[in-house]
Amino acid sequence: MVAAFWDLLRSGELITHIAQSVRRSVLGFSLGLLVSVPLGLLIGWFPRFEELVDPLLQTFRQTSTLALFPVFILFFGIGEVSKVAIIFWGVQWAILLNTIAGVKNVDPLLIKAARSMGTSSLEIFIKVIVPAAVPSIFTGVRLSATTSILILIAAEMMGANSGLGFLLYDSEVKYKIPTMYAAIMSMSLLGLILNYTLVGIEKRITHWK
């Protein structure tokens, strides 16, 4: 396994597959982040808005992401768009729910103290609610980052000609066992690096805790 990993790394093949997987994962994850964080802040801050959209969100959340992959292929084809779209769909739920929880769990004393000083609702939202919700948001981000890799690997196994998922499936079909384990080891290392990168970013942003 180690020898196969080194051979793939030395030939550049492994770097190519990792780069493709990371590109797809980052793009889908970033799109999910851009949608789920603002939406979660709004849902958590406005109870009436939550009552309106919660049934629809709960329905979508309970639907298996990978079960929808054929639907995404039907609409977007078997190329890059469908892979990015399925990652976008799958990663946003953990971020969304943790963002909502972060907003709702802000210490009421902070809000009362801000209101007692004549702070407007918009300023409270920007200067109190959002910063206080950041730790919870990052919890969702870390969960979703791992999810994005898992979803992508499954998507690449079902329809791709590059990426770690493709490498894993191709080596399995061709019975290249050492290469298969090298691909699995690469996925684990990628997830580990991603997790600790996000932990480092979280510590820098939330150092005030």
Tokens 């603002």 -> residue: 38
Task: Kindly report the pTM of this predicted structure.
Answer: 0.83
The range of the structural domain enclosing residue 44 comes to 2-205
- Across the chain, what does the average pLDDT equal? 83
**Range of 5-14, 91-100, 162-171 with top mean pLDDT:** 91-100
CATH code of the domain in which 151 resides: 1.10.3720.10
Calculate the CA dihedral of residues 41, 42, 48, 52 and round it to 10 degrees. Answer: -100
For the chain, helix, strand, coil in percent to 5 are 85, 0, 15
Task: Give the tens place of pLDDT for each residue, 91-142.
Answer: 888 899 999 998 888 888 888 888 888 778 788 888 888 888 888 898 888 8
| Dmax (CA) of the chain | 69
* Degrees to nearest 5, angle at CA 191 with 164 and 59: 90
DSSP 156: H
| Tokens representing residue 76 in the block | 């977007």
Are 84 and 31 within 8 A, CB to CB?
yes
80-104 and 130-158 helices cross at what angle (nearest 10)? 150
pLDDT at 50: 83
Write the burial class of residue 181 (CB in 10 Å: 0-12 exposed, 13-18 middle, 19+ buried): middle
Are 83 and 26 within 8 A, CB to CB?
no
- Specify the DSSP element, H or E, that contains 90: helix 80-104
Total domains in the fold of the chain: 1
